[in-house]
Chain A
Amino acid sequence: DAGVIQSPRHEVTEMGQEVTLRCKPISGHNSLFWYRQTMMRGLELLIYFNNNVPIDDSGMPEDRFSAKMPNASFSTLKIQPSEPRDSAVYFCASSYGSPGDTQYFGPGTRLTVL
C-alpha cells in the first residue's frame, strides 16, 4: 500500500488567499484525522471523520477552516482566507477506526502564509 498521500507537500501563499490541502487515506481505513503541528502549540487535532462523517471538529480554529470528506478515499482541508498565523505543517492520518487502532500519518504539507 502507498500509505497516506498528501498534496501538495509544500505550499507558499499570500495572506488572504484560499488554500486547499488534500489527503488520500489508506484504502480500507474508516477514520481520517487532520492535524496541525507548530513549534509553539505542538501537535493539534483539528477534525476527524469516521465513515466520511465529521465526528469531532472541536479543534478547528475558526470559521476560516473547513474540512470535507466526500468519499472514503479523499478529504480536503480548506483555509479561506489564509493568515500568517496559519503557517504550520498539516498532517493527515488514517486508521481502521476501532479503539486502539494505529493511526498512519502522511508526510505532511508545509504551509507558509506570507
Chain B
Amino acid sequence: AQSVTQLGSHVSVSEGALVLLRCNYSSSVPPYLFWYVQYPNQGLQLLLKYTTGATLVKGINGFEAEFKKSETSFHLTKPSAHMSDAAEYFCAVSNAGNNRKLIWGLGTSLAVNP
C-alpha cells in the first residue's frame, strides 16, 4: 500500500529565507508524486508533479522538488520565500496502475514572517 508522510504540520520562515517542506512516501511500485497548494478559502491547485524523466521538477511560483528514490523523498523547496507563499501544502502519491486515486499527506501549513 502507498502512503505519504509530511514532516512538520507547521513551518514558519522569514520573508526571503529558504522554504523546505518535507515529504516522504512509501510505494512498492514506481510512484507518481505531486505537490498541491491551498490558499485560504480556495480549492487545491497543482504546484508541480513528477511522473517520469528528470528527477528535479520545477513548478509554478518558483517552487521545485527533487524525486530521490533512494531516500523515498520528494521535498519541496523555494530559494526565497515571499509573503504570498503563505498557504497549506499537500504532498500526494499515486502510481501507474489503473487506480486514479491520490494518497494524500496531512498537509504542512507555511507561515511567512515579514
**Which A residues are within 8 Å of any B CB, using their own CB?**
4, 31, 33, 42-43, 45, 48, 50, 55-56, 91, 93, 95, 97, 99-108
Contact = CB atoms under 8 A, between A and B. Distances in A.
A9 to B, nearest CB: 10
Interface residues of B, number: 22
Nearest to A42: B106
Mostly, the A contact residues are strand
The 9 closest A-B pairs by CB, nearest first: A105-B43, A100-B51, A100-B32, A105-B44, A99-B96, A42-B106, A102-B46, A43-B104, A31-B100
Nearest to B104: A43
B58 to A, nearest CB: 15
Interface in B32-74: 32, 34, 42-46, 49, 51
A45 B43 contact: no
Contact of A99 (B97, B104, B106, B107): B97
Nearest to A32: B100
B43 A108 contact: yes
Nearest to B44: A105
B84 interface: no
